[in-house]
Structure 1
Amino acid sequence: MFFTGLIYKQTYVFKYETNFIDRFSYKSSAVAFSQQTNQYKSIDNYLKEVIKTNQIPGLAIGVIKDGKVIFEQYYGTENLEDAKKVNPNSMFRIYSTSKLMTDVGVFQLIEQGKLSLEDHVSKYIDHLPKEWQNVKVKNLLSHSSGIPDFVAFSDILPEYSGSKTIERLSREKMDFTTGNEFRYNQTNYMLLAMIIEKITGQSFENFILNNQFRDTKNQVIFSSNSLEKIPNRVIKYNYNPERKKYEISTYREGKKAHPANGIAITLPAFLKWSNQLAKNDLLNQKTKEMMWQPFEYGNKKDVFAYGWEISKANDVRSYGFSGGNVSA
């Protein structure tokens, strides 16, 4: 069962690929029209309660079962300034859920024999600091690299390239011994994109679009700039407790952040991507199982796969990721 949702406003209510649909008292049965109608109403009623309780201005949600979209619906408006309704063309920024597409891209190259989890990052990227030489591809995916996170440094500007960011971070100490623990880090994904570009000779954006969104390119765009004017892109608002009002997000990180948080996508394109992943169209089953293996951290405490969060819902092990408190 896949459950995919996109919302705006700083509220998180969804998980990806879980048995979460049981929350709606959804019952497996023969596809009788009357029961389908009741199930649809049950989901719809539940969501309307969630929207009201959490004051969600706009939401797009889809449920996939056995390879078929059994529920797809759009609620509310795209922004707080006018009455334009959320619709199938609305493009939601999915923030860190973008990392899943980067993960799949990395494992596509692994499946093709062009990359290995055990490869050192220095095999593909020149002029890395001495302290980074032991970092491997697997450490980037599992957030166990120990490399400093560029978002922690206000002097690393959005327009900085990957190489300039590396040069600046080379003056910082490692956060911890490589492989020892999980620490969420955007620099890891900047480096993964640089590796993809080195191997393929393509821009990171084109590689992802050509290999995961070939039929839906016009429904996906890369931008880590909240202020950039993009047609149909839903606006994110953050609540300002001092002014007691919602304000448009002004967050921007530049192109180097695209692999970590840059994708804006329509719900139909997101559902198609989910289905293709489930059907092994993007990766074969063996590769997916490798991607979803828990990483062995030195501290023996943290639990995370190669870019995917592992969780349990109704005793079903699930893999996914959320982004910006607006998508999952």
Structure 2
Amino acid sequence: MLIGALPFAAASASQAPANEQARRLIRQIMQELRIPGLQITVVKDGQIVLSEAYGLANVENGVRASRDTRFPLNSATKAFTGVAIAQLAEQGRLDLDASASRYLDDLPAAWREVRVRQLLAHTSGLPDILDANGLLGGGSEAQAWTAVTARPLEAAPGQRFAYNQTNYVLLARIIAQQSGMSYERFLATGQFSSARMARTTFGDSYDLVPDVATMYSLAPRATDAADAPSRLSHWFYDIPPLLWAGGGILTTADDTAHWLVALTEGRLLGDAARARMWSAERLPDGRAGPWAGGWPVLRASPDLQVAGIGGARSAFVVYPERGVAVVVLTNLVGANPQQFIPRIADCYARDSSTPRHERVALARQQRAAIAGP
């Protein structure tokens, strides 16, 4: 079921055809994939040109999704952690090429040569603190940490890409150590506040956070017969504070778009720091790995494309050379918006008549004029 969209009133008239094309795509995709609720926000040249919500945030109670509904970013949170590390590096408070043991003196001996940039790009070779059943050992955060630090390296640092959550547990600790405040406090002061992210917080299915969308899946229960038909069911996710740096943010598409505008306009990072953050980590054979500094790199060149992807239900993709970013947050596991975001982004073609830097400067002037003195 689709519920009427909530239009973004400030959308430019020049974007009307692209916006209508994007709306048609979203409605079609929601029907095809059976997505209960969705938010979409599109940024073009530093301005939000489309911001809408569709469907139901909670199916069983008929609660409509709105632009204020919070959705989990899950692993797309890692992009925020990447920005936090890049900020500390830009401020001279850490070295991306330094070993993690320079900042954390209690690491196992085998872990001491892992570089900070290798943690960001999942090339550390560290064992994962999660297994198929959740935290290692099925116990507390402390027990899981004891279990993972007793395991050997799975590869020499820098030798191969292997996605895991231990990397971001360590990054959260490094951020706290070098900033003098908790991970979540550093993000709140250094990113959320600067980017006007008033609806952004941390949590999971166990936390009582207002206006959070209910998560669903179309997969049958584990106890169902193998040939059971798919049906919409609740999906519960557990992101304890230990794992917040890898997947704990709850937010809206609008808040995420404000953050992306602040990032690309240089209000969170300078150009050089941002460029390094978005540069893929190189593997030993010289090939670019699939991740940069907290961000998956979908395409390096031409037409750089970097992303945040989380929980098979939330994603944002940035196209810096096009001046476009698209955020899609859903409450269906398996929606995988990163797979259809490129179709939406293609609705917002380049304006070849005016250089991008001139379009961005004009957009900033227009926003300043609206804001007033």
Separation in 1, partners of 2:187, 2:119 = 18
Separation in 2, partners of 1:218, 1:232 = 13
Q: Are the aligned partners of 1:128 and 1:166 in contact in 2 as well (CA < 8 Å)?
A: no
Indicate the residue corresponding to 2:71 in structure 1: 92
Cα shift readout 1:40-72 (whole Å, capped 9, x = no counterpart)? 222211211111111111110011111111111
1:112 shift after superposition: 0.2
Indicate the residue corresponding to 1:191 in structure 2: 170
1:147 shift after superposition: 0.7
1:38 shift after superposition: 3.1
1:97 shift after superposition: 0.5
Indicate the residue corresponding to 2:141 in structure 1: 160
Q: Which amino acid in 2 is paired with 1:129? A: P
Q: Does 1:297 align with 2:283?
A: yes
Indicate the residue corresponding to 2:188 in structure 1: 209
In structure 2, the gaps of 5 or more residues are 1-10, 316-373
Q: Does 1:269 align with 2:255?
A: yes
Separation in 2, partners of 1:235, 1:185 = 26
Q: Which amino acid in 2 is paired with 1:317? A: L
In structure 2, relative to structure 1, the CA distance for the partners of 1:121 and 1:299 (3 Å cut) is same
Indicate the residue corresponding to 1:279 in structure 2: 265
Separation in 1, partners of 2:37, 2:160 = 37
Separation in 1, partners of 2:233, 2:314 = 19
| Counterpart pick for 2:111 among 132, 150, 166 | 132
Indicate the residue corresponding to 1:172 in structure 2: 151
In structure 2, relative to structure 1, the CA distance for the partners of 1:283 and 1:156 (3 Å cut) is farther
1:156 shift after superposition: 4.0
Q: Does 1:323 align with 2:294?
A: no
Q: Does 1:110 align with 2:89?
A: yes
In structure 2, relative to structure 1, the CA distance for the partners of 1:140 and 1:194 (3 Å cut) is same
Q: Are the aligned partners of 1:181 and 1:299 in contact in 2 as well (CA < 8 Å)?
A: no
1:133 shift after superposition: 1.1
Aligned-residue Cα RMSD (Å) equals 2.1
SS at 2:304 equivalent: strand
Q: Which amino acid in 1 is paired with 2:248? A: G
In structure 2, relative to structure 1, the CA distance for the partners of 1:139 and 1:83 (3 Å cut) is same
* Farther off after superposition, 272-281 or 214-223: 214-223
Indicate the residue corresponding to 1:11 in structure 2: none
Cα shift readout 1:222-248 (whole Å, capped 9, x = no counterpart)? 11x323221111121122333632322
SS at 1:110 equivalent: helix
In structure 1, the gaps of 5 or more residues are 1-30
- Provide TM-score, normalisation by structure 2: 0.74
| Counterpart pick for 1:222 among 199, 202, 215 | 202
Indicate the residue corresponding to 1:200 in structure 2: 179
Separation in 2, partners of 1:180, 1:127 = 23
In structure 2, relative to structure 1, the CA distance for the partners of 1:72 and 1:196 (3 Å cut) is same
Cα shift readout 1:263-295 (whole Å, capped 9, x = no counterpart)? 000222111001101101100001011112221
In structure 2, relative to structure 1, the CA distance for the partners of 1:88 and 1:103 (3 Å cut) is same
In structure 2, relative to structure 1, the CA distance for the partners of 1:251 and 1:287 (3 Å cut) is same
Separation in 2, partners of 1:263, 1:49 = 28
Separation in 1, partners of 2:209, 2:232 = 20
Q: Are the aligned partners of 1:158 and 1:255 in contact in 2 as well (CA < 8 Å)?
A: no
SS at 1:210 equivalent: helix
Matches within 5 A, 1:2-13: none
SS at 2:218 equivalent: strand
Separation in 1, partners of 2:78, 2:254 = 19
Q: Are the aligned partners of 1:148 and 1:173 in contact in 2 as well (CA < 8 Å)?
A: yes
SS at 1:240 equivalent: coil
Matches within 5 A, 1:65-80: 65-80=44-59
In structure 2, relative to structure 1, the CA distance for the partners of 1:57 and 1:153 (3 Å cut) is closer
Higher relative contact order, structure no. (Cα contacts within 8 Å, ≥ 6 residues apart):
1
Cα shift readout 1:127-170 (whole Å, capped 9, x = no counterpart)? 21111011110110110111101112754447414xx5443212
Q: Does 1:249 align with 2:229?
A: no
* Farther off after superposition, 48-57 or 167-176: 167-176
SS at 1:307 equivalent: coil
Separation in 1, partners of 2:30, 2:58 = 15
Q: Percent identity over the alignment?
A: 28
Q: Are the aligned partners of 1:157 and 1:253 in contact in 2 as well (CA < 8 Å)?
A: no
Q: Are the aligned partners of 2:98 and 2:115 in contact in 1 as well (CA < 8 Å)?
A: yes
Cα shift readout 1:51-106 (whole Å, capped 9, x = no counterpart)? 11111111100111111111111100102211211112100101011000000000
Q: Are the aligned partners of 2:215 and 2:236 in contact in 1 as well (CA < 8 Å)?
A: no
Q: Are the aligned partners of 1:158 and 1:253 in contact in 2 as well (CA < 8 Å)?
A: no
